[in-house]
Amino acid sequence: MSSRVDVDEIQITHGEKLLSAVLALFLLIGGIWVYVKIDDVVTTSSPPDVSYRGTPTEQASVNRLRDADRRLARAQEAAAAARDNLELRREAYRTALDANRPADQLEKEYNLAQARLAAAQIEVASARKAVADARPAADAAQRNIAKVQSGREHKRELLALVFRLLFTIASLAFAYWLLALLRRKKSRYYPVGMAFVAYAAILAFVGATDYLTDYFDPLDLGPLVLSLVGIVATLLAFVALQRYLAKRLPARRVRRRECPFCGYPVRENEHCEGCGRDVIAQCTRCNEPRRVGALHCGACGAA
C-alpha cells in the first residue's frame, strides 16, 4: 500500500505527534552537544590565549616591577624586625637604668638597634621609590600584553561564533528543505520534517540566547544575522506553503462539491450561491460541461 496521499488531508495521529516531539527532543540533545563541542574544538585547536608574554622590553619592564615589589616586601619585613628588636633593646636598657645596674653594653645594643631601624627605613623608602619608578612602564607593558591576549581571545570566540552560525543555519536549511520535500512527495513522514524544523528553531533560539547573554560588542551581530536568516527562511517556507495551498485548493473544493472560488457548497448548481460565479464551463477540448477547478475533464480526460 502506498503512503503517498494528499498532505492537506492527512490527519496526524496523537502517536505521530508524540513521536515527532520525541524526535525533536533527541535532535536537540545532539544539536546542543555539537554546538558546545564546536567551542571546545576551536579552543583546543587554537594557540593558548595566554601564550603571549610581551616583547623583550615589555618583559624587562614587568620583571623590573616584580623585582622592585619583592625588594619592598623584604625591606618592610626587615624594618618590622628592626622595630621589634629596637623595642626589646629599649626596654632592657630602661630596666637596667631603673635598677641602677651597669648599662653600657645595653646602651650600645640600643643605639645599634636604632641605627639598624634607620637603615631599614631608608631601604624601605628606596624600595618604594624603585617600585614607583618601575610601575608606569610595567603597567603600560601589561596593558599591551592584555590587549594582545584579548585580541587572540576575541579571534577565537569569533571563529567559534562563525562555525556555530554555519551549523545552525545548515540545520535550519536542512529542516526546511526536508519539510518541503516531504510535502512535495505527499509523504506520511511529514511530521518528521516538522520535528526537524522544531529542533532547528529551538537550536537557533539557544544560540541567540547564548550570545545575547554573554556578549555586548560587535559579536552581537551573530544573533541578529541568525535571526534574519531564520525569519527569511521561515517566510519563504510560508510563501511556498501558501502557493502550494492556492494551487491545490480549487481541486480539493471540487472534490467536496464546493465552489472553487469561495468554498460555498454548490451541489449540482451551475452557479455558486455564495459568490455568484459560474462553476460549470465548457471543456476547451471537447466542449462538454466541465466543473471549474477540476484537474481533468470528465468527458475526454483533458487536463
Q: pLDDT digits over 49-64, tens only?
A: 456 677 888 888 888 9
Which segments of the chain are extended strands (E)?
280-282, 289-291
pLDDT at 70: 93
- Asked if the model's pLDDT at residue 131 lies above 80, the reply is yes
Cα–Cα nearest to 7, from 244, 240, 303, 226:
244
Look at residue 128 and give its three-state secondary structure.
Answer: helix
In whole angstroms, what is the distance from residue 28 CA to residue 197 CA? 11
189 — pLDDT class (breaks 50, 70, 90): confident
- Asked if the model's pLDDT at residue 13 lies above 70, the reply is no
In whole angstroms, what is the distance from residue 277 CA to residue 261 CA? 8
pLDDT at 5: 36
Least trusted range by pLDDT, from 32-46, 163-177, 226-240:
226-240
- Asked if the model's pLDDT at residue 46 lies above 70, the reply is no
- Asked if the model's pLDDT at residue 215 lies above 80, the reply is no
State mean pLDDT over 273-285. 81
- Asked if the model's pLDDT at residue 66 lies above 80, the reply is yes
Cα–Cα nearest to 293, from 244, 264, 260, 268:
260
In whole angstroms, what is the distance from residue 82 CA to residue 104 CA? 21
- Asked if the model's pLDDT at residue 105 lies above 50, the reply is yes
Choose between 85 and 295: higher pLDDT.
85
pLDDT at 52: 62
Cα 215-219-225 angle, rounded to 5 deg: 120
pLDDT at 73: 92
In whole angstroms, what is the distance from residue 285 CA to residue 225 CA? 53
- Asked if the model's pLDDT at residue 153 lies above 70, the reply is no
- Asked if the model's pLDDT at residue 41 lies above 70, the reply is yes
pLDDT at 266: 83
- Asked if the model's pLDDT at residue 151 lies above 70, the reply is no
pLDDT at 15: 67
pLDDT at 76: 92
In whole angstroms, what is the distance from residue 270 CA to residue 4 CA? 33
Tell me how many helices (H) and strands (E) the chain has: 5, 2
100 — pLDDT class (breaks 50, 70, 90): confident
- Alpha carbon dihedral 246, 248, 254, 259, in 10-degree steps, equals 0
For the chain, give the mean pLDDT.
Answer: 78
3-state helix, strand, coil in the chain (%, to 5): 75, 5, 25
pLDDT at 1: 32
- Asked if the model's pLDDT at residue 259 lies above 70, the reply is yes
